[in-house]
A and B are shown apart, each in its own frame.
Chain A
Amino acid sequence: MASVSGWALSPQAEAAKPEPDLAAGRAAYGQYCARCHGPQAAGDGYDAKRLYPRPRNLTEGVFKFRSTATGTAPTDEDLFRTLTNGLPGSGMPDWRHLDEAVRWQLVYYVKSLSSVEQDAPAQPVDLGRDPGPRHADLAAGKRAYEKMGCAACHGAQGRGNGTSAPSLTDTWGRATRPADLTQGWNYRGGSDTKAIVTRVLAGIDGTPMPSYAEAASPNDAWQLAYYVRSLQQDPNWSMIAHAPLAREGLPASLDDPRWQRVPRVDVRLRNAMNEQGEWALPQTVSAVSFRVVHDGAAARFLISWQDPSDDRGDSPDGLALALPSAKVVGDSVTLQLWPMRFSPPLDLCVWSAKSLKTNEGVVRRYDTLLQGASQAVPLDTQAAYEDGQWRVMMTRPLAPANLPNAAQITPGRFTPLAFAVWDGGNAGQRATSSWVDVVMDAEPAKAHASQ
């Protein structure tokens, strides 16, 4: 079984596995890893507080991404894979650019930092056999998803919004969240079916995600993995969004089928740092999707994002669509850092889940608008929350008449646009995007499916 369950590395990689040389490993560690993982590997490097989850204390011997029984050491190949691919969605970068020999020395060095190898040697889990995509039975996979209780944490549609999600903490006492299974690009340990089977059977130690090795047969786990894979949605990352001209009128509602003809653009978000310059909360909103159309006079946006909880109380969910104000010339500040002292005002369209309304204003701070500033202009808005997802439709004049210094959107020209999203259920954490360019096209929508 051992050979089956190790990660399938190329035969060359196996052959290249060199003899351990701890001095070489230690030197490479000091050069590449210490700034995050710390000089003594205690997870307390210089950059540690600016990362969430925190870099691992490698002396504890707790490893998340294993192909081995819960509580046992990872295989060398597990660690090699983590180093090679990094852990997407966390601060752990990939080290593909390092020679394989160096990566192997780092693997040996990481292993030497804790006693887990001696205390609980790697015990590969039986991954069974891949039935192959043609024998994948998504209905059986869905049944397994329900029977195994994945939804308790990951939610019925896998959006990370299960009933237990907000209460989860990791072994180190920090708040953590179940992965949003629809965001394959955000899986730490790989989004392919084999990676999913491995996660399910081995569990993710140090986190609430348990091992199902005793609960699910390898065959059920494969069907489950094909189902989970089918939940993943391909993102359309883009720096440019086109807003087609809607000759037959703007889509009238959130569910208007005319939206389907408008291309969707996805934008990544990152949590803003707190006042101490730290990342102190898990990332619950990782991306925003939007579509935009215009009719020559106004632009209508359909914006959606996954937020695990519907919060409309005093710490409400919220969204800001940011445009540079008319006074700003050239590149505007990055939204990650805004607002700072002396930073320019922005034109913000701020929607709050408390009022379900949007107000636009040219402001130097978010809170002036969140608290309903007096000089704000209301925008026509519809919003709905369903199973872990907000959808907000807002309409903004291309050239607002009654708002001094508002951004003027000129068809045919690039208009920068960025998003900030607040999750009330995550202590009001704000997550922001970088700027994307939007062009109001002179052409009607091309009839192509965009999902």
Chain B
Amino acid sequence: MARHNLEKQLSILDFALSSLWRHRMKSLSVLLVFAAVIFLLASFQMVTQALSDKAKQVLAHTPEITLQKMSAGRQESIPLAYGEQLAGIFGIRRVVPRIWGYYFDEVRLANYTVMGLEVNEMPEGGRLGATLAKGVMPGPADEAQGRVVVGQSIKKTMDLAGRTTFSLFRPDLSLKPFEISGEFSPDTDILTNDLIVMNVADARDLFGIPAGLVTDLCVYVANPKEIETIAKKISEALPSVRVLTRSQIQKTYQVVFGWRSGFGSICLLAALAAFVILAWDKASGLSPEERREIAILKVLGWETSDILAVRSRESVIVSGLACIVGMTAAYIHVVYFDAALFRPVLMGWSVLRPDLHLLPRLAAGDILLILAFTVIPYLAATVIPAWRSATVPADSALGG
């Protein structure tokens, strides 16, 4: 009996394969659309996953509390002296100044983000070295004047290939020379792509910010559990200052991400719906030939369950192939073509298109989710109509 059953299963599988082959144009078109949907879903999933990994990296380098001075709702420079007023607050480990801003390069029509940091002052400053492909982070003013670290696309945009020096304009249009002492690794492109990092003194010089002022103060806290309490105390001590905690910045990222991936999800849902409709149409529109075939098989002694088994094997084969093709294509798309199709949607970060190298991670859970969203509707759309027609009486194959 068990042997019989095995033979029967094999026969049915064999019949399903040959039936797919007989309708190869139809099978192929369904397969292609199916693979395309899986490709979109999987690419999208891989990209958002890789990007949220990046966002985590960003946050890892974000100070626990950032202080900015607000005036009439706009950010303006904050006096270094404010840092000294915080000395009384217990739990603050260190206050480090920072100057950052955007520099518009009129020659190349590109925006750069300029960041002036006191790397040696930052408690975790040493870790920044890990983000570099080569070189070192610029040290303090007296030993590293004019030294900068740049992101990959800055190197490309400025066409720096062999050179290690370039100049930028100060607000009074005099030129300030820089020398590249290092470059960020492509892994960190999403953050560092359009970034030029120098020390605070050079940034102040470049932007013409008066001595004693910076754009923001980074507050490092001894115990992460006290962040909220300390932030509140700072607000009380310095009422005109905006106090941003790391978790608030995290929320901002989530909003940006949420919007972007929400938009993507809507596009994907539309594609998915189109696919389900197509599958339904293909399957429920059983042609007279297919109906006739089912009626003949029934008269010849096939049970409804046998006919369903053939149909579901067909569907499983088609969806299995579509998954393999779609997922492989998605991986190639993301890794080798840098998710070219999703660029415009997901990358709003900088004017320079980041040459972003994503390392996709596709968890088993994601794969299951994608399968659930594609294979189940497809199986339902193919097997249910076949079941309805298989329960039609077989006598239509007789006479007439």
A and B from one complex: no
- A residues near B (Cβ < 8 Å) are none
